[in-house]
Amino acid sequence: MASLRALRRGATASIVVGVMLLGVGLPLVTPLARAVAAGSEIGYPHYGLAPDVNGTSNSTVNVTMNVTDAPAFQPSAINVTVNQTVSLTIVNRGNYSHTFTLSSNGSYVLPTNITPENLSLYFQQHPPIVNVTLNASQTVHANFTMNGSTAGGRFEYVSVVPYQFQAGMYGFVSVAQLAKGPPMTFYTNATNDLHFVPAVLDAENATSLPVKIVVDFGNVGSLSHTFTLSPIEGYNLSPSNFTTFFSTHHPLVDMPVPTSPGTYNTGSAVILKKGFYEFICTVPGHFASGMFGFLYVGVKPPVTVGAPLSTAIVSSGVLVAGAAVLGIGIVLAVIATYSGRIPRKPPSSEHHY
Ligand SMILES: [Cu+2]
């Protein structure tokens, strides 16, 4: 009897402690819970160039477009800023002829059930921005620049060779939206003990989006670091997944931190969507050691601004501990149940121990 009583007490205590810990952990861990649902990718450009002013750039990006007999375009997406020139090298990797035909309408997606005749007719009536034909193994160069009126548009490129578009041969040139208002500028410093200070960049006053965020990042130590900003709102990176993540979600900023104190590198991005965006250092081991922070756009940072670095780790630790203790409690309760002691033993019998 005594052992069953101890078991029941253990179960009760564990459940109480577990629930208490979860009560502490859950409110803190909300951003983590939101992490699973990654939103649509935002920002640009994805070729290592920062836009000059509010999402425009007079730079040139080189893009190699492979055309295959699948039939398909690789890549199937090109992200540019207004006034950025795309220098395209289009390579036909296949044995069939294909075209690269770029629509001039940034708000129209061609229906894939359109007939080849109607597709030709469409481009006769709406002259494409680029239209080149590639015979087997041929390589063709083409340049195009998207002007200010194209901001925010998605321009489809297709092959008009009959039934290639219909079979999935298309992609999109996406032009970033222009930021509203002046850019907001922040700074952060990398330290030798592997932190960003400050680790919270508070752009909660950015309520009119898109907004251009500028970050100057320097070094108060001597180690090499990067400043690498996630493009996905509400997503918590982890040391084990960030490499894979960034291979499919190009960072908004990904630049080395200067190693000489007092000098800064500047990165910028136009943020389209309210929320938090994580930045990390991608030097092996640094993120795991605490080298991360968050940019909050149009939303209030958590109240723990003084100790932002530990919030996610502590809250998830508390949550894990809470779940573990609760689990022990439940196991003990189940054991107690099968020992015939649940529901609670009437109080009167307590006196007999
Ligand atoms: Cu680092």
DSSP 103-115: -S-TT----TT--
Q: Is the peptide bond before 198 cis (omega within 30 degrees of 0)?
A: yes
pLDDT tens digits, 160-217 = 999 999 999 999 999 988 888 889 999 999 999 999 999 999 999 998 888 999 999 9
**pTM for this prediction:** 0.52
- Ligand 1 centre to CA of 286 (Å) is 5
Token pair in block for residue 90: 């289009």
Residue 109's nearest CA partner among 19, 176, 12, 174 is 174
Would you state the pLDDT for residue 247?
Answer: 83
Strands 154-158 and 170-175: antiparallel
pLDDT tens digits, 43-65 = 333 333 444 445 566 788 899 99
Q: Average pLDDT of the chain?
A: 79
- Ligand 1 centre to CA of 341 (Å) is 55
The residues, ordered by sequence, that sit 6+ positions from 348 with a Cβ below 8 Å of its Cβ are none
Instruction: Tell me the residue type at 125.
Output: Q
pLDDT tens digits, 280-315 = 999 999 999 999 999 999 999 997 644 444 444 444
Q: What share of the chain is helix, strand, coil (3-state, %, to 5)?
A: 25, 30, 45
Distance CA(33)–CA(167), nearest Å, equals 39
pLDDT class for 219, splitting at 50, 70, 90? very high
Q: Identify which has the larger pLDDT, 170 or 352.
A: 170
- Ligand 1 centre to CA of 31 (Å) is 23
- Ligand 1 centre to CA of 265 (Å) is 14
Instruction: Give the C-alpha distances (Å, rounded to integers) separating 198 from 36, 162, 188, 294, 296.
Output: 26, 57, 5, 10, 13
- Ligand 1 centre to CA of 226 (Å) is 6
The residues, ordered by sequence, that sit 6+ positions from 25 with a Cβ below 8 Å of its Cβ are 315, 316, 317, 318, 319, 321, 322
Would you state the pLDDT for residue 342?
Answer: 39
- Ligand 1 centre to CA of 47 (Å) is 22
Q: Which helix (H) or strand (E) holds 279?
A: strand 275-280
- Ligand 1 centre to CA of 36 (Å) is 25
- Ligand 1 centre to CA of 279 (Å) is 11
Q: Taking CA 253 as the corner, what is the angle to CA 248 and CA 257, rounded to the nearest 5 degrees?
A: 125
Instruction: Give the C-alpha distances (Å, rounded to integers) separating 215 from 227, 264, 320.
Output: 9, 9, 34
Q: Please provide residue 61's backbone torsions phi and psi, each rounded to the nearest 5 degrees.
A: -115, 140
Contact, 176 vs 81, CB < 8 A?
yes
Distance CA(295)–CA(293), nearest Å, equals 7
- Ligand 1 centre to CA of 293 (Å) is 12
- Ligand 1 centre to CA of 302 (Å) is 24
User: What residues flank ion ligand 1 with Cβ within 5 A?
Assistant: 225, 281, 283, 286, 291
pLDDT class for 338, splitting at 50, 70, 90? very low
Distance CA(218)–CA(266), nearest Å, equals 9
Residue with tokens 């330290």: 191
- Ligand 1 centre to CA of 331 (Å) is 43
Cα–chain center distance at 96? 37
Mean pLDDT of 24-38: 35
Which of 38-47, 50-59, 267-276 is predicted least confidently? 38-47
Strands 77-80 and 154-158: unpaired
Which of 23-27, 115-119, 130-134 is predicted least confidently? 23-27
pLDDT class for 240, splitting at 50, 70, 90? very high
